[in-house]
Amino acid sequence: MTVWVGYTNIMSVLPVEDNITLNLNLVLLFFVSIEPYLFYLNITFDLLTHEVFLNLASVLYALDMTGLMLILALFMHELAKEEKELVPKDSVRRVKRRRNELYVSAGLFAVTILPVFWTVHLWGQPVRFYFWFIPLVMALVMPR
């Protein structure tokens, strides 16, 4: 939901005139469409009986979320370009801060693809799953 709300806010300002923006929109739509399925797989597979499938599903989910966050950050980067004057001057700083948060979120999801985030466990679960809460907490705590 937060991805789609963010996307809607961005696209209400960002013109969709060039092929890059159009193609990124299509890729984002694909990522958004498979996210619920990948999330479902992560909560359905049991670690003890389906470890290989859960590992694969969690890597795919991390890749999907990395793509979502990265594309939103790229869109925010376009909004932040002061010479384009897409947002009021007093909002540019806020847009840049949100862009940077999205880059950090993309990086956090991407780093969890590394095997160490699967092999190290906390309370019986791979730490990969716990790291995924960091972007959510960031989004809730960071000032808007």
Ranges of each domain in the chain = 2-141
Beta strands in the chain (DSSP E): 121-122, 125-126
User: What confidence category does residue 83 fall into, taking pLDDT thresholds of 50, 70 and 90?
Assistant: low
Rounded average pLDDT over 18-45: 89
The model carries a pTM of 0.86
- The answer to whether 99 and 69 have CB atoms below 8 angstroms apart is no
Pairwise CA distance, residues 19 & 24, whole Å: 8
Identify the CA nearest to 69 among candidates 41, 37, 111, 40: 111
Res. 76: pLDDT tops 90 = no
Question: If you compute the radius of gyration of the chain from its CA atoms, what whole number of angstroms results?
Answer: 17
Orientation of helix 51-80 relative to helix 92-111, angle to 10°: 160
- The answer to whether 105 and 138 have CB atoms below 8 angstroms apart is yes
Please tell me which residue, 85 or 127, carries the higher pLDDT value: 127
